[in-house]
A and B are shown apart, each in its own frame.
Chain A
């Protein structure tokens, strides 16, 4: 696993690089800004880039801008945003900009090495990963009426786990269900969200996007 890091805070950047190396990843670049990251990955393309949201020069949403640019130039490179902000709007913004092969995790996840590596792997494989804190917030939110209202509780739960980046097997383990049952729920979710059951992986992404859009998009 080849990873490039763009992170403003030096201490966190070096600690993160240390952690990733200790977990067996190869850190190809570790730089403080999006621009420097773009320069670095031009020579050596990683599997995944890790981005901070707030970076120089403007300290606003450089992470999301860099994500768009990287996806435009290198569509196969996964993008994982590690953020301090638990706001759903950043996650939604990111998903709107880059619909797949992308993740939005809170930096707190560095406490769980396995989860971090698993997320990196999923993003690298083109899946979508959203931090459970944000997913819970989106789900707990009393929303305006949307297509998600047609899902039952179990289906919503399955969708939530899908959004967090789990496979059917992972979901089955988490919910103490059989893989077959999970697959049935997943199909049901796709049907209710109006997705054709042919292309399973793409549908997963679309379902998660539907979920995020209807739950997370401001206004």
Chain B
């Protein structure tokens, strides 16, 4: 691993020095270092959490006091709901940035039990009447806040109006009424200006206003649900649904009490209490969900473990992090330049291979800053996958290079072998036969025996035929003119044997021997196909040598319609009398051409619209 990392590109100019760069809400959360609840930074957080739960449980049990005798069921539900709220608050407090929401939840839980302090006799009835809705305020706060760590201006206004209306309105009811009017036994009551009519009217107005606030909360929650995207949406959906259910339950319960639809108010409280369970449960589900999301990373790892390319990893990250706007860029200069211009306010994070230089950059929705564990796990998995892919690509590239080099070596060896064969034929068999022929002719000239002369003549003629065949064979194996005069001359020789006019524009200079040989054989192959299948009246061979690339174009005015895989029909014969069929070049058609050109790192392209001729273009790098 280490060896490969060292060959990665050098570290980038750190234009984005902060790994986490987000202009969103997370930035404002900076106060409590990690934004977690304090107890989770202790040495034994679980013990502390248990202590808090036990203490809260005792307090909530005590504060309800006589309620246990009056309605044990209601007291139990209250205790359970409160404990669940506190427990959920504690759990939520583990997450970064949720400290305040956690407090809101815990306070909502505690105040929920404190509401029932009026079971005791004493001044508590007035307290309950005024402050009995504080738990709902905290609950609304938590609902609106999670998982954002800040409230919008509208949300802040809403909470202020809600709190103000409820506390001020209820205080007014208290001072304009007596304990009895509110259904309490006689006890201490700050009845400053008792007026039953006014008090009744205020009762309707204040509670009606609270009902409207409840509807307002539902509207705000719906609005949040609609506006939230990505992971946030997955996480908050159960909370918002539970919140809306709780608001409805509270409104129903309040209405029931107001119109005395329920035989005892405790029944209404019980219903409300059971529905209230939904809120902490939903928060717990959210917390669990966030933990479960991390499990998705294993899915991601599985998806890209085989070493997906950057596109596959990008797709996997988008799906796992539920952010369709997420982008994954390589660390090339151009990517980074593009990154600088298009990522204001986006979350930017580098993916590194171990301790090495960054190998990719993630640009994502800033809300993912709240899912840092998930995000980090996902990017780490991606980093491994990308590195794996890079290694695989490098291995594949090396293999490709090896194959290419070996193919080039094979072609060169073949070329050398062909030249050797041609030379051997020329210098050996051909010259020997010619010597014998000359000897025979001399013998024929010297003999006076007419039968011997005829026999010598016959042998001479046979030898001449053999010599012509040998000459064609040698030319087919490797045309001497190719080595000696180059591609242009060799192509001229080929085309003058063809039954159609072919204009040849050869290269202005000599080329590499292997390039000349490859182009020559490809041209022979292509021209043989033109003659056999194209039904052309003329053709053209042009070789152009550029600075880094040379191009050979073989064009005809024939029937066209050549497909890259089939060639112009089964080409089984080479050029007539050219020995091409003898060495199997023509039999393999286009594949053979592609092989020869591929060995030179070049390409073959065929453009052949039906009825409009065929154009075969060979491009080979040169330099």
A interface residues (Cβ-Cβ under 8 A, vs B): 8-9, 11-12, 14-16, 18-19, 21-23, 54, 59-61, 84-90, 93, 106-108, 110-113, 116, 137-138, 140-144, 218-219
Taking the nearest CB of chain A, how far is it from the CB of B37, in angstroms?
Answer: 88
Binds A, one of B332-340, B348-356, B428-436, B558-566: B428-436
In the complex, what residue of chain A is closest to B501 when comparing beta carbons?
A142
Q: Which residues of B contact A86 (CB under 8 A)?
A: 471, 475
Q: Which residues of A contact B475 (CB under 8 A)?
A: 85-87
Contact of A84 among B426, B437, B439, B441 (CB under 8 A): B426
Instruction: Name the interface residues of B305-357: CB closer than 8 Å to any CB of A.
Output: none
In the complex, what residue of chain B is closest to A86 when comparing beta carbons?
B471
Taking the nearest CB of chain B, how far is it from the CB of A60, in angstroms?
Answer: 5
Contact of A108 among B436, B468, B502 (CB under 8 A): B468
CB of B497 within 8 Å of the partner chain: yes
Q: Is A111 in contact with B430, judged by CB distance below 8 angstroms? A: no
Q: Is B484 in contact with A60, judged by CB distance below 8 angstroms? A: yes
Known pairs A9-B432, A93-B485 / 20 extra A-B pairs, C-beta < 8 Å:
A11-B435, A12-B431, A15-B436, A19-B439, A19-B441, A54-B426, A59-B423, A84-B430, A84-B471, A84-B474, A85-B475, A85-B480, A87-B475, A88-B496, A89-B489, A108-B464, A140-B496, A141-B496, A143-B501, A144-B503
Q: Is A9 in contact with B481, judged by CB distance below 8 angstroms? A: no
Taking the nearest CB of chain B, how far is it from the CB of A24, in angstroms?
Answer: 9
Instruction: Name the interface residues of B429-460: CB closer than 8 Å to any CB of A.
Output: 430-432, 434-442, 444-446, 460
Instruction: Name the interface residues of B86-107: CB closer than 8 Å to any CB of A.
Output: none
Contact of A111 among B432, B461, B497 (CB under 8 A): B461
Taking the nearest CB of chain B, how far is it from the CB of A66, in angstroms?
Answer: 15
- Best-buried of A59, A93, A112, A218 by chain B (most CB within 10 Å): A218
Please, how many angstroms separate the alpha-carbon atoms of A8 and B430 in the complex? Answer: 12
B466-494 CB mask vs A (1 if < 8 Å, else 0) is 01100100110001110111001100110
Q: Which residues of A contact B500 (CB under 8 A)?
A: 142
Contact of B438 among A84, A110, A138 (CB under 8 A): A110
Taking the nearest CB of chain A, how far is it from the CB of B520, in angstroms?
Answer: 13
Q: Is A19 in contact with B438, judged by CB distance below 8 angstroms? A: yes
Q: Is B442 in contact with A22, judged by CB distance below 8 angstroms? A: yes
Interface of B is mostly: helix
Contact of B445 among A19, A61, A89 (CB under 8 A): A19
Q: Which residues of B contact A141 (CB under 8 A)?
A: 495-497
Decide yes or no: A89 and B485 within 8 Å by CB, A14-B435, A111-B463 being known contacts: yes
CB of B290 within 8 Å of the partner chain: no
Taking the nearest CB of chain A, how far is it from the CB of B138, in angstroms?
Answer: 95
Q: Is B502 in contact with A142, judged by CB distance below 8 angstroms? A: yes
Q: Is B427 in contact with A9, judged by CB distance below 8 angstroms? A: yes
B interface residues (Cβ-Cβ under 8 A, vs A): 423, 426-427, 430-432, 434-442, 444-446, 460-461, 463-464, 467-468, 471, 474-475, 479-481, 483-485, 488-489, 492-493, 495-506
Contact of B460 among A15, A60, A106, A111 (CB under 8 A): A111
- Best-buried of B438, B464, B497, B498 by chain A (most CB within 10 Å): B438
Please, how many angstroms separate the alpha-carbon atoms of A85 and B467 in the complex? Answer: 11
Q: Which residues of B contact A11 (CB under 8 A)?
A: 431-432, 435
Contact of B441 among A8, A87, A113 (CB under 8 A): A113
Q: Which residues of A contact B484 (CB under 8 A)?
A: 60-61
Q: Is A111 in contact with B437, judged by CB distance below 8 angstroms? A: yes
Decide yes or no: A18 and B439 within 8 Å by CB, A110-B434, A141-B496, A219-B492 being known contacts: yes
Please, how many angstroms separate the alpha-carbon atoms of A163 and B460 in the complex? Answer: 25
Please, how many angstroms separate the alpha-carbon atoms of A140 and B498 in the complex? Answer: 9
Q: Is B427 in contact with A218, judged by CB distance below 8 angstroms? A: no
In the complex, what residue of chain B is closest to A24 when comparing beta carbons?
B445
Taking the nearest CB of chain B, how far is it from the CB of A189, in angstroms?
Answer: 22
Q: Is A108 in contact with B439, judged by CB distance below 8 angstroms? A: no
Please, how many angstroms separate the alpha-carbon atoms of A14 and B479 in the complex? Answer: 27
Q: Which residues of A contact B446 (CB under 8 A)?
A: 22
Taking the nearest CB of chain A, how far is it from the CB of B420, in angstroms?
Answer: 12
Q: Is B442 in contact with A219, judged by CB distance below 8 angstroms? A: no
Q: Is A9 in contact with B435, judged by CB distance below 8 angstroms? A: yes
Taking the nearest CB of chain B, how far is it from the CB of A50, in angstroms?
Answer: 11
Decide yes or no: A219 and B439 within 8 Å by CB, A90-B481, A138-B496 being known contacts: no
Q: Which residues of A contact B437 (CB under 8 A)?
A: 15, 108, 110-111
Q: Is A108 in contact with B467, judged by CB distance below 8 angstroms? A: yes
- What are 10 A-B contacts with C-beta separation under 8 Å? A11-B435, A19-B438, A22-B446, A89-B485, A108-B464, A110-B441, A137-B497, A218-B492, A218-B504, A219-B492
Please, how many angstroms separate the alpha-carbon atoms of A23 and B438 in the complex? Answer: 11
In the complex, what residue of chain B is closest to A93 when comparing beta carbons?
B485
In the complex, what residue of chain A is closest to B436 when comparing beta carbons?
A15
Q: Is A15 in contact with B435, judged by CB distance below 8 angstroms? A: yes
Please, how many angstroms separate the alpha-carbon atoms of A9 and B434 in the complex? Answer: 10
Taking the nearest CB of chain A, how far is it from the CB of B435, in angstroms?
Answer: 4
Q: Which residues of A contact B481 (CB under 8 A)?
A: 85, 87, 89-90
Please, how many angstroms separate the alpha-carbon atoms of A12 and B471 in the complex? Answer: 16
Q: Is B480 in contact with A54, judged by CB distance below 8 angstroms? A: yes
Q: Is A12 in contact with B434, judged by CB distance below 8 angstroms? A: yes
Q: Is B501 in contact with A87, judged by CB distance below 8 angstroms? A: no
In the complex, what residue of chain B is closest to A138 when comparing beta carbons?
B496
Taking the nearest CB of chain A, how far is it from the CB of B94, in angstroms?
Answer: 84
Please, how many angstroms separate the alpha-carbon atoms of A107 and B466 in the complex? Answer: 13
Q: Which residues of B contact A8 (CB under 8 A)?
A: 427, 431
Q: Is A89 in contact with B442, judged by CB distance below 8 angstroms? A: no
Taking the nearest CB of chain B, how far is it from the CB of A68, in angstroms?
Answer: 16
Q: Is A218 in contact with B485, judged by CB distance below 8 angstroms? A: yes
Please, how many angstroms separate the alpha-carbon atoms of A138 and B493 in the complex? Answer: 10
Q: Is B431 in contact with A9, judged by CB distance below 8 angstroms? A: yes
In the complex, what residue of chain B is closest to A11 when comparing beta carbons?
B435
Q: Is B505 in contact with A219, judged by CB distance below 8 angstroms? A: yes
- Best-buried of A11, A88, A106 by chain B (most CB within 10 Å): A11
